[in-house]
Structure 1
């Protein structure tokens, strides 16, 4: 679907991988993605589904110590202004704003809990050509597309302040604020696009905060099994939740992502 991104909306995802060729093969087999390679941008990969740009990717040669991971990019009308504001709210600039031809301007930050997050000021490339919006636990219309973007943080209150003040989130909605489950969505009305979860009750002390990406699956169990067949692994077996059937998986290069589908 087409969507006009508001400031702070997730607008792009990007894979940093040590084996770009295997990533193209893996995600092509799993999601039916095709891949365009732009040699003028260092072999940058644009993954497509049904002709729509759905994700990016590039080889990690290990030279700068960056981890292999999926990165979520949030939309910004002015990437430099966002990067300049980040330190005032407890964040750090990992990569200074940099123009990418006429496509747009990128930067990468670390939020107060250490989670990395991209900044994208769109030019001729505004972000997703199409993506899914999973609301109310309904995922079936969003198969093989990025569908939900979720920060698991161990510094929940500071993280929310950071994203409000740095990226301009205007109307986040608190889903739950009990000690057992603290969760806030990016917007208060549909499409909510993603959220922030206090990971402290669920993850071991010292585990890193991170943005997580969910891709829609017609059959989560079958998709998780396919991940293993293609050389990946399952981190969390498929299970039903109030928000659909979910699984956490790992690609052949060790990069984590999640699958979401309609409950069984």
Structure 2
């Protein structure tokens, strides 16, 4: 199996990113922004029992969701969900390895079960045990999820956590002189062809008050044009586009402050 190319909504191996959503103060504003930026369409949103969760589609396939913030103190943020066949068991391993549960496992009707966890440095990620909704129907193509990485301060703490909890195989890369580690699912040979996410280090130039966090990437055909479009739509470019051996990327914020990145393949 080529994990980097996977593109269907079947079962996902444990630890593989299978869904992303954004918590926003204004979901309708988010629909306008992402609809124009990525060409997404949206359903009418689930009922109040599901938090009025609005699912996004690209080419008619589910790719993400937007949800209204229930509390103004909640962050405006994109969250990546990692697949698991047993969310309760995974939550136990997370706590046993020094992480914590922000939201314990809860059923989401017939769709599945979810939880929110934090690693030992406080970076938040989701857990998803799929039911009728296994996760992405499309990924690794323009307008859909393609990558996620956690920005951490102490790799000696964070790397053993993820590799112990999920069984990831790790491989260190040197990208522009910066330490970077990619992860492949348990049982896969670690490498760029099987990688499903990674760990970057927060640089010394980043303010100490910035917490560890995940960054979600979406694939695009033209990173520069997407950055220009995001600016026209009320978003911001966090830093100029950067070329890497794996593509050209730029980090953006949307019109409400949620941070994400876009990646143009080589």
Determine the structure 1 residue equivalent to 2:183: 186
1:119 offset after TM fit, Å? 0.5
CA distance in 2, matches of 1:218, 1:177: 22
Determine the structure 1 residue equivalent to 2:3: none
3-state SS in 2 of match to 1:228: helix
1:47 offset after TM fit, Å? 0.5
Q: For residues 28 and 22 of structure 1, do their structure 2 counterparts lie closer, same or farther at Cα, with a shift above 3 Å needed?
A: same
Q: Tell whether the 8 Å contact from 1:12 to 1:73 is kept in structure 2 after alignment.
A: yes
Q: Would you say 1:10 and 2:8 are equivalent positions?
A: no
Q: Would you say 1:27 and 2:48 are equivalent positions?
A: no
Moved more, 180-189 or 77-86: 180-189
Q: Tell whether the 8 Å contact from 1:27 to 1:33 is kept in structure 2 after alignment.
A: yes
Q: How does 1:137-216 map to 2 (within 5 A)?
A: 142-166=141-165, 168-176=166-174, 180-187=177-184, 188-189=190-191, 190-201=193-204, 203-216=206-219
Q: 1:48 aligns with which of 52, 57, 75?
A: 57
Equivalent pairs, count = 251
Determine the structure 1 residue equivalent to 2:116: 108
Deviations 1:168-203 (A, max 9, x none): 23422222499x522221211423121111224563
Q: Tell whether the 8 Å contact from 1:235 to 1:249 is kept in structure 2 after alignment.
A: yes
CA distance in 1, matches of 2:74, 2:161: 22
CA distance in 2, matches of 1:42, 1:94: 17
3-state SS in 1 of match to 2:94: helix
Deviations 1:223-244 (A, max 9, x none): 1000011111111112322221
Cα-Cα RMSD: 1.9
Q: Tell whether the 8 Å contact from 1:149 to 1:194 is kept in structure 2 after alignment.
A: yes
CA distance in 1, matches of 2:145, 2:168: 23
Q: Tell whether the 8 Å contact from 1:169 to 1:186 is kept in structure 2 after alignment.
A: no
1:79 offset after TM fit, Å? 0.6
Unaligned regions of 5+ residues in structure 1, if any?
A: 133-141
Determine the structure 1 residue equivalent to 2:187: none
3-state SS in 1 of match to 2:134: coil
Q: Tell whether the 8 Å contact from 1:143 to 1:217 is kept in structure 2 after alignment.
A: yes
Deviations 1:206-250 (A, max 9, x none): 321111011111111111000011111111112322221111111
Moved more, 197-206 or 157-166: 197-206
Q: Tell whether the 8 Å contact from 2:111 to 2:131 is kept in structure 1 after alignment.
A: yes
3-state SS in 1 of match to 2:23: strand
3-state SS in 2 of match to 1:236: coil
3-state SS in 2 of match to 1:186: strand
Q: For residues 203 and 182 of structure 1, do their structure 2 counterparts lie closer, same or farther at Cα, with a shift above 3 Å needed?
A: same
3-state SS in 2 of match to 1:119: strand
Q: Would you say 1:76 and 2:73 are equivalent positions?
A: no
